[in-house]
A and B are shown apart, each in its own frame.
Chain A
Amino acid sequence: KAGVTQTPRYLIKTRGQQVTLSCSPISGHRSVSWYQQTPGQGLQFLFEYFSETQRNKGNFPGRFSGRQFSNSRSEMNVSTLELGDSALYLCASSWGGDLAKNIQYFGAGTRLSVL
């Protein structure tokens, strides 16, 4: 069974540009969550999509956005990149039901470097 796939694995952008990251969840999973991981702040929740609707949102500025398609694949977009956006962006998928039985499985991440 294929795991969570994130593309691309590495990205280098300059300040002011925008970037789109992609995540393909495990087959059958309907929930996709995005996290940002940095050495200083650790793993922080960005947002979650379930059945094409944003279900939860973390404390990030509006420059961070996402969407989910009917096949559960998800994209996140960061506009007007800042140096502080350099991080490992992780996607996690789960079947989406009761969290007590709902394990999130993570992809390998996209390493974004903003110059």
Chain B
Amino acid sequence: EDQVTQSPEALRLQEGESSSLNCSYTVSGLRGLFWYRQDPGKGPEFLFTLYSAGEEKEKERLKATLTKKESFLHITAPKPEDSATYLCAVPDSGNAGNMLTFGGGTRLMVKP
């Protein structure tokens, strides 16, 4: 059974204090890894897709990286508007459809 674990569960940062969020996964055959951002009362918003170990993608203050066992979301000089829950997900390895297994998320709070 595919498993996705995110750490830490919650993270408090001061504005400008860089940090990283972790997503570790156990799947029999990785077909991609997705990062989403979710604000309170809203649906998840797509951030990145990574397909193979060594791949990196960047968007503004965010950079996602992927290894064979985990992915990191690096946040550089965060701002209060980066406060949200960050979710990672992997496609189910047992079928070819769109079933995603999500981690529990990391709740990020950035204080000014």
Most chain A C-beta atoms within 10 Å of own C-beta, residue among B34, B102, B103: B102
User: Which of A56, A106, A109 contacts B98 (CB under 8 A)?
Assistant: A56
- Say how far B38's CB is from chain A's closest CB, in angstroms: 8
Most chain B C-beta atoms within 10 Å of own C-beta, residue among A33, A50, A92, A99: A99
- Say how far B31's CB is from chain A's closest CB, in angstroms: 6
Near A by CB (< 8 A), chain B positions 22-58 give: 31-32, 34, 36, 41-46, 49, 51
Report yes or no: A100 in contact with B32, Cβ–Cβ below 8 A.
yes
Q: Interface size class for chain A?
A: 20 to 34
A104 CA / B43 CA spacing, docked (Å): 11
- Say how far B93's CB is from chain A's closest CB, in angstroms: 11
Report yes or no: B45 in contact with A55, Cβ–Cβ below 8 A.
no
A45 CA / B2 CA spacing, docked (Å): 13
Report yes or no: B102 in contact with A106, Cβ–Cβ below 8 A.
no
A94 CA / B44 CA spacing, docked (Å): 14
Report yes or no: B92 in contact with A106, Cβ–Cβ below 8 A.
no
- Residues of B within 8 Å of A, CB-based: how many? 27
Report yes or no: B49 in contact with A103, Cβ–Cβ below 8 A.
yes
A50 CA / B105 CA spacing, docked (Å): 27
Report yes or no: B31 in contact with A31, Cβ–Cβ below 8 A.
no
User: Which of A45, A96, A103 contacts B99 (CB under 8 A)?
Assistant: A45
Most chain A C-beta atoms within 10 Å of own C-beta, residue among B96, B99, B102: B99
The verdict on A102 contacting chain B, using a C-beta distance below 8 Å, is: yes
| A interface footprint on B50-83 (CB within 8 Å = 1, 0 otherwise) | 0100000000000000000000000000000000
Q: Which 9 A-B pairs have the closest CB atoms?
A: A106-B43, A43-B102, A56-B97, A55-B97, A56-B99, A106-B44, A99-B91, A42-B104, A45-B99
